[in-house]
Amino acid sequence: MIAALLVSLIQVLIVLLGAPLLVGAMRQLRAVMEGRVGGGVLQPWRDLLKLLRKAPQRPEGTGAAFRLAPLLGVACCAVAAAAIPLISTRTGLDAAADLIAVVALLTLSTAALALAGLDTATAFGGMGASREMTITALAEPAILTAVFALAAKVGSTNLPAIVATTLGHGARLASPATLLAAVALGVVVLAETGRLPVDNPATHLELTMVHEAVVLEYSGPDLALIELGAAMRLTVLLGLWSSLFAPWGVATSAGPTRLLLALAVFAGKTLALGALIAAAEVFMAKLRLFRVPELLAGSFLLAVLAVTASFFLA
C-alpha cells in the first residue's frame, strides 16, 4: 500500500513539475518551425515564478467562486494525475481510479473556471464561460464513450484494469474499435485543452478566444495557478491517451527499476505527443465557433462506432 501511494505521489510531482516544461517545449518547437527564436523550454516556469512574486488583483464584487477556481483547477488535475496509471498500474487510488470519476474531476475544474468567469460580471467572462461549457458538454460524452470501447472488453471502467488488460493483450491495440476510439479521444483532447483547431492558446482576440476570455481578469499568483492548471490538464490528458492506446512502458509493479524506466518512457511518449500537436498547429487554422460542435459530434460518432465495433469484432 505504501509503494502504491508513493507511485501516486511520484505521478503528481512529475505532472506538477513537468507540465510547464511540456508547454515550453511545444511553444519552442512551434517557434522554430515558424522561423522565430522562441523563449526556450524553461520560459513557462520563468513566467510562473514572476507571477507568483506579484500581488493578486481581484475585481471588485467577486466572491468565493473567483478566488477558489484556480486552486480547484490545480487540485482536480493533481488528483487525476494520482489516479490515472501514467507510470504504473499500481497506484494509491487504484480502486477509485474509475473513468467516470476522472472525467468528473476534469469537468469540475472546467465548471469552476466557468463560474469564475461569470462571477466577474463582465461581457468577456460570460461569453467565455458559455463557450467553455458548450465545448465541455459536447466533449465529455465523447471521452466516456471512447474509453468505454476499451472498457467493454475488460468488463470494468477502472483505468488501471483497462491498461493492465491491454498490456496483456497487445493485439487489441490494432483492432478497429481501438483505432476509432484513439482518434475520437485525440480530437477530444484538443478540445479539452484549448488547442487548435478548437481554440488558439496564443491569441487574445476578443471574438475568438474561449479559455482566455474566462481567465481575463486573473493576475499574479491566481493567474500562475490558472496557467499551471492548464498545463497539468494537458499533461494528464496526453498521459491518459498514451496509457490507453500506447501503454508500452507502463509498469505493472512498484519496483524502483521498473518505475524509473516507466517514468522515462512516459516522459518520452508525452513529449512526442506534445511535439506532434505543436507541429500540426503550425499548419492548422482555427475553426469558426459554430463548426466546433460539428467536429465534436464527429468525434462522438467515432466513439459510438468504436463501442459498436468492440461488441461485434474480436
Kindly write down the DSSP assignment for every residue of 182-231, as one continuous string.
Answer: HHHHHHHHHHHTT-TTT--TT---TTT-SHHHHTTT--HHHHHHHHHHHH
Q: Is 103 helix (H, G, I), strand (E, B) or coil?
A: helix
CA distance 225 to 29: 24
Mean pLDDT confidence for 159-187: 89
User: Which residues, 6+ apart, have CB-to-CB distance to 263 below 8 Å?
Assistant: 10, 14, 87
Q: Is 60 helix (H, G, I), strand (E, B) or coil?
A: coil
Q: Is 279 helix (H, G, I), strand (E, B) or coil?
A: helix
Q: Could you give phi then psi for residue 93, rounded to 5 degrees?
A: -110, 35
Predicted model pTM: 0.94
Mean pLDDT confidence for 90-119: 90
Residues across the chain: 314
Residue 313's CB is within 10 A of a number of other CB atoms, namely 10
Q: Cell 484513439, residue?
A: 182
Element of type H or E holding 16: helix 2-33
Q: Is the pLDDT of residue 202 over 80?
A: no
pLDDT tens-digit series, residues 213-268: 888 899 999 999 999 999 999 999 999 999 999 999 999 877 888 899 999 999 99
What domain range includes position 113? 2-312
Residue 120 near residue 66 (C-beta atoms within 8 A)? yes
User: Count of domains in the chain?
Assistant: 1
Residue 249 near residue 261 (C-beta atoms within 8 A)? yes
Mean pLDDT confidence for 191-205: 80
User: Is 171 or 242 the better-scoring residue by pLDDT?
Assistant: 242
- What DSSP state is assigned to residue 174? G
Residue 166 near residue 158 (C-beta atoms within 8 A)? no
